[in-house]
A and B are shown apart, each in its own frame.
Chain A
Amino acid sequence: MEQLKEATEKKGYYGQFGGRYIPETLMNELNHIEATYNELKDDPEFQEELHTLLRDYANRPSLLYFAKNMTEDLGGAQIYLKREDLNHTGAHKINNVLGQALLAKHMGKTRFIAETGAGQHGVATATVAALMGMECEIFMGKEDTERQKLNVYRMELLGAKVHAVTSGSMVLKDAVNATMQEWVSRVDDTFYILGSTVGPYPFPKLVHDFQSVISQETKRQLAEQAHQLPDMVVACVGGGSNAIGSFANFIDDESVKLVGVEAAGKGVNTDQHAATLEKGSTGIFHGMKSMFLQNHDGQIDQVYSISAGLDYPGIGPEHADLQDRGRAQYVGITDDEAVSAFEYIAQQEGIVAAIESCHALAYVRKIAPTMAKDKIIVCTVSGRGDKDVAAIAKYRGVEIDD
C-alpha cells in the first residue's frame, strides 16, 4: 500500500501508470516542453491566442446535436452527438494540434513531425503547419498509407512530406516508433506533435488539456439544451485522445458513467483485435507505463482493427488508471458491428461518421435500448467518415475506383 501511495504521488504518473521512459537524448527537451507549458497554460495571452484559433479557424464550439431519429429508433435513452466531425479538417485532432503547435511556436521551433494512423492527426498537423509556416513531416505506416490514400494526398497537398513506414507491422505503432527515432536524431528545431494521449509525460497531459475543450463545451451545451448532466458519455479509444477530451470535465461528476470503446477487430477471442484494456497487461512502451497487448516475454503484439485510428497496442496512461480505479469502463466493438453502425448512422441521421467513431456509435446502439427514456447519452463523433467510404464499400464487396 505504501508503495502504491508513493507511485500515486510521483510526478507525471496517473496512479501506477505514466512516467517517462525514453532515450536520454530527449529528456532535456521534455523538461523544456513541460516548463514552457506550465508557464503558458495560465497565461491569458496564450489562452486567448488558442481560443481565437479554435473559434475562428477550427470552427469551435462544435455542435451538440440531439439525434432524434436514432433516439426514437432505439427507443431508450436520449442520444446526443458531440459533432467533432464538423471541425475544420474533419476530426477532433485539430484541437490538440493547435495547442501543441502554439506551444512549439513559443519554444522557437520551425519544424513539426507527427505520427498518424487513419491520417486525421497527420492532416491536422499538416494543416496547422501550413497555417503557421512550419516545415512538416508525417510518419504513417505503409499499410495505413494504402488504407487511407486520400489522406496521404491531402497531407501532401498541404505541403507536408509523408514517410511510409515499412518497419514492423507498418501501422500506427510503427509510425510512432519512426517519429520518435526522427525526433531523437533532430530535436533542436523540431517539435513532435503527438496525436494521442500517450507517450512520455507531459504528452498525456498536453493532449488531455487541449482535448478537454470537448467536454467543457458538452457540459455547457447540455446544460442549455437539457438542463442536466449526461448519464453516460461514450467515445472510441485507440490511444484515447478524443475519449480523454470527452471525459475530462465529467471525471469528477461521479453520476456520469464514462465508457471507452475499443476496437475488438475480428473478436477479442481471436488474435486480431486491438482491445488493450480488455485483454492487455501492464508494460512499458512508447515512453509510458500503461496497458499493452504483449506476449509473455514483453514483446509488443501486432494488433488489428478495420480502423487505422484504433489499431494501436497501447492506451493512454490516464485511461489505464481510470479503468484501474473503476471510474471508466472499456468495452470492445468488432469490425462487423462498427461497419453496421457506419451504415446505420448514415441512414438514420444523414451523418457519415469516421469508422473510429462508429465503434462508439455501435456501443450506443447496443446500450441505449436498455436505458430509460429520461436518461441521456452523449456520444462523441470524433471524425467524419469521407476517408472511410471506399474501404467500407470494399468491405461490403463493392469496388470503387478511388
Chain B
Amino acid sequence: MTKLNEAFKNHKALIPFVVAGDPDFEGTVSNVIALAEAGADVVELGIPFSDPVADGPVIQAGYLRAFDQGVTVERIFQMVTAIREQTQVPLVFLTYINIPFKYGYEAFCERFEQLNISGLVIPDLPYESRDELAPIAEKHGIALVPLITLTSGARIPMIAKAATGFIYMVSSMGVTGTRDSFTKALGETVTEIRRYTDVPIAIGFGIHTPEQAHELSQISDGVIVGSAMVDIVGKDGQNAPKELLLYTKALLTAIDQPVEV
C-alpha cells in the first residue's frame, strides 16, 4: 500500500481533485495520468453522490456530468484498474458516507486495498461517528483522512491525535468553490493542529491561483485544489488532460518557488 505521508516528504504536496466519471470514464483515466505526469503528489478522486451537501456548484456540476455517463461505484473501481495499469500515483477518494455504507464498509475497503487506493475523505463522517468505519479502514491499510475546520476549536486535539494519512484543513466556511482570500485564523488553526500531531496537514477549499497555492503551502504541508480542476474538465472536456497538466505544473512551480525575504 502506498503510504500517504511519503507524498509529503521533503516537499510541499499538491493534491489535485477531479470527479470520477467526469467528463467520462476514459476522460478521467487520461485526466489522472496527466495530473500524475505533471507531478501531482497525490490525486484525489470524487465518487459522485446524489446530494453532495459539502460541495459547491462547480463540483456538483462535475458529479452531474458523471451521472450522465452512468457512473456507478463498480464502474469507478474498473476505472481505477485502468489507471493503475499506467500510474502508481497515490490515490485518495472523497465521497459521502452513504456510498461506502451501502456498499458495505468491509467490501469497500477491501476493493480499495486491492486497487492500491491509499485514503478516504468523507465530509459527512465527523469524529464521533468514525468508529464504525475507522477500524475496518485501518485493517486494510487505508487512511481515513479527517477534516478540521475553522470552527473545530476545542475538538482539534481529539481529531488530530486520531488522524492518519494527512489532515484535510478546510480553509473557509461553506462549501467547496474558488475563493479570493483566506483569514488569519487559518494559520493559527494549523499551528494549533501541529501541537498534537506530526501527520501532514493539507489545506483545501477555495484555492485556485498559483499565488494562493504558494501562500498556503508556506503555512502547511500541502494544498488541495478541487473546484478549479473540475472547472477545467467542465470547460475543456476531452482536451482537459492537456490543460490540467499545464495548470498543475504552474501550481507546482509556484509551490516550490523560494520564499521571498
Contacts and interface: CB of A to CB of B under 8 A. Distances in A.
B51 A173 contact: yes
Contacts of B97: 21, 284
Interface stretch (A178-186, A240-248, A253-261): A178-186
A168 interface: yes
B250 interface: no
A23 B123 contact: yes
B196 interface: no
Query: Chain A contact residues (Cβ within 8 angstroms of B): what range?
Result: 35 or more
Q: Which of A28, A285, A294 has the most CB of B within 10 A?
A: A285
B173 A294 contact: no
B50 interface: yes
B99 interface: yes
Interface string B45-81: 0000111011000001000000000001100000000
Contacts of B151: 24-29, 187
A36 interface: no
Contact of A287 (B124, B149, B175): B124
B99 A27 contact: no
Interface in B87-129: 97-99, 101-103, 123-129
Interface of B: 49-51, 53-54, 60, 72-73, 97-99, 101-103, 123-129, 146-155, 159, 170, 173-175
Given A23-B53, A299-B50, A185 B173 contact: yes
A177 B170 CA distance: 19
Contact of A283 (B54, B101, B126, B174): B101
A292 B149 CA distance: 29
A298 B153 CA distance: 32
Interface string A160-185: 00000001100001100100110011
A210 B149 CA distance: 31
A181 B174 contact: yes
Interface of A: 19-29, 167-168, 173-174, 177, 180-181, 184-187, 281-287, 289, 292, 294, 296-300
16 contacts: A21-B124, A24-B126, A25-B151, A28-B152, A28-B153, A28-B154, A177-B53, A184-B54, A184-B173, A186-B174, A284-B97, A292-B98, A297-B72, A298-B98, A299-B50, A300-B50
Contacts of A286: 51
Nearest to B153: A28
Given A23-B53, A167-B60, A184 B98 contact: no
A186 B173 contact: yes
Given A29-B151, A185-B173, A187-B151, A20 B126 contact: yes
A203 to B, nearest CB: 15
Contacts of B129: 19-21
A285 B173 CA distance: 21
B154 A185 contact: no
